[in-house]
Amino acid sequence: MLDPWRERDACGVGFVARADGIRDHDILAKALTAVARLAHRGAASNDKSGDGAGVLTQIPHRLLGVGPVERVALGMVFLPTQRTDEAIDLIESALVSLGMSVLGWRVVPVNAGVLGPLAAANQPVIRQIFIGPPSGPANAQLWERRLYLARRVIERRAAAAGIELFVCSMSCRTVVYKALLVGTELPGFYADLQSPLFETAITVFHQRYSTNTLPSWPLAQPFRLLAHNGEINTLWGNRNAMLAREPALAAPAWERDVELLKPVIWDGGSDSTSLDNAFELLVRSGRDPVHALMMLLPEAWERIPDMHPALRSTRLRSVSTSSSSPGPRRPDSTTSAGSRSTTPTSDAATTTLSRVTL
């Protein structure tokens, strides 16, 4: 019989970081050890194809031989095995149309021999793209916003053309390495992760246990800003509320480009994907990452008698701009400054946006 004390039906998630911000390989090595020891929190099919595992790190400049963060952005992309050249042209065209330059592509070295047959049969073409900044003064935050917009344009054009591609990350600060496997196999699949030249001060890691969606390469975590452990039990209500209010989406940061961000929530994603979509929208629109997490993952604040009036007012305002949904969870995320942020919360509420005036 099932022993409730031995439940293992939730994703494994965590982070390793240096408080002084100094990059080295040891941080990544510790994270890879940790995610391997979370294999019991994940799942695999009967052919040993895992539900997915990955890491989110700072861009490894020494490994890739690229310049400072202000000058080169990196995209990690899953391309289709068919129509690969069309997908590459589509990505390059979108970036150039938004004022950025394509500096080159890199074939990511992988070892498909560690994958289970099902994962191997669905393995995408994995490439990295190096991107030059738009014209004007160097500003990492504005560039991140432009890269977010470019990714949304890429996704819209790919959907219209019937091309199945997935942008794991596109940033001037961070990169995501993930695959359809278990954590023990991650460094064996990606040779980059074994190199001592791969240096980072932060690593968010994730081992997936697929619940409300089937395992797939795109749904492995981490996502672009966070890794999430838990379930959002009113998922469809939150998604529908977001969709219904998208006509009101507005923010000074976007002006006319705001239409290119819609739909904000990817309808083929998981609950965790939807949370990342909403979080990314808030952060790229100018919200402080900690503030955005407080909006999306509020504590059970209503019955705290000694809460500071200013914080209570903030909570009341968030109620009018977000919809609560029950479900225990723990997100680990990187902020726009490249540091790690964790919001421990009660089981009272997980939220995604319902009113989207930013």
Active site residues: 11
CA 111 from chain center: how many Å? 23
Which stretch of DSSP H or E encloses residue 221?
none
Tokens 């890794």 appear where?
227
Q: What secondary structure, in 3-state letters, does 28-44 show?
A: HHHHHHHHHCCHHHCCE
DSSP letter string, 223-252: -SSEEEEE--TTHHHHHHHHHHHGGG-B-T
Distance CA 203, CA 72 (A): 20
Tell me the HSE value of 174 on the side-chain side, using a 13 A CA sphere: 28
Collapsing DSSP to helix, strand or coil, 159 comes out as helix
Distance CA 263, CA 266 (A): 7
